[in-house]
Amino acid sequence: MFNTSGPTDTVTQLTYLPKVDDPRRDWVASVAVPAFLAHRAHNKVRNFVTVVTGAELGAIAATDIFDLGCLAITDRHQAVVDAAAENICNTSTGAGKFRLIAVLSPTGAVISSIGGRVPLAALLKMASEAGYRAKIVTYTWKIQSEPEEVVGGYKKNQEDGHGPLYFCPAKILRNTFGSLHPAVATRRTRAAETEESLLKHRIDASVVAYELNRNGLFIGHTAAIVRSTPL
């Protein structure tokens, strides 16, 4: 239990601030919450472990949506994991209690929330090659946050041979998904149809970076939530 005297403004370099004034730019509001609600409609969740990057407000959303008995948070960034481990060691109750545990129960699932800058087929193949059966929970879109800071990283990855990585004009995404429920892609075929309709509008990361530098470009990307269970 942590007690604070009031709100804090501390933000790390790995943290994306919530976009309270524009939910379509916010990952939790536009992607995670609709997916959690769709998952809850057919599955009971008691234990929730999240592997994140940054602040992970999705964990807070999970506590609101699921009837949790246990919540755990870790991070992809080693610096964050190291800091958490140090904090545990500095408490009398946590010292020396590190051990590997199996966090996925026999009836559990891995929920992957992935910005769709790669084809859906690649996301499903990733799960299959890891020994999991994948199912799309939701397929939606969001406006790219901090594009001037973010797109350059995708451009670099593409130049390094990873990709191609795609974005799409936000206006096209809004028109495509505007009348669709966030859980439109509970059927894989519908998600594929939606993706197919966007192919002619895709622009790769290198072009996006150039356009942003030249005259600004209002861009976004699709986002897929994939539920994977062991084969």
pLDDT, tens digit, for every residue of 104-132? 788 888 888 878 788 899 889 999 999 99
C-alpha torsion 25→27→33→39, nearest 10: 130
CA distance 220 to 147: 9
Instruction: State residue 99 phi and psi, 5-degree precision.
Output: -160, 155
Q: Which amino acid belongs to residue 123?
A: L
Residue 4 has pLDDT above 50, yes or no: no
pLDDT value at position 198? 94
CA distance 53 to 178: 28
Q: Which two tokens stand for residue 227?
A: 């539920």
What's the pLDDT tens digit per position in 58-94?
A: 888 889 999 998 888 776 667 767 776 776 676 656 5
pLDDT value at position 17? 72
From the list 119, 151, 108, 131, the residue with the least C-alpha distance to 224 is 119
What's the pLDDT tens digit per position in 161-197?
A: 887 889 999 999 999 988 666 555 445 668 889 999 9
| 156 strand-pairing partners | none
At residue 98 the predicted structure's pLDDT band, cuts being 50, 70 and 90, is low
Residue 214 has pLDDT above 80, yes or no: no
Residue 11 has pLDDT above 60, yes or no: no
Q: What angle do CA 56, 57, 63 make, to 5 degrees?
A: 110
Which residue would you say has higher pLDDT here, 133 or 79? 133
At residue 134 the predicted structure's pLDDT band, cuts being 50, 70 and 90, is very high
Instruction: State residue 216 phi and psi, 5-degree precision.
Output: 80, 140
End-to-end CA distance of the chain: 38
Provide Rg for the chain, Cα atoms.
Answer: 19
pLDDT value at position 8? 43
CA distance 9 to 219: 29
How high is the mean pLDDT of the chain? 79
pLDDT value at position 186? 47
Domain regions of the chain by residue span = 44-108, 112-231
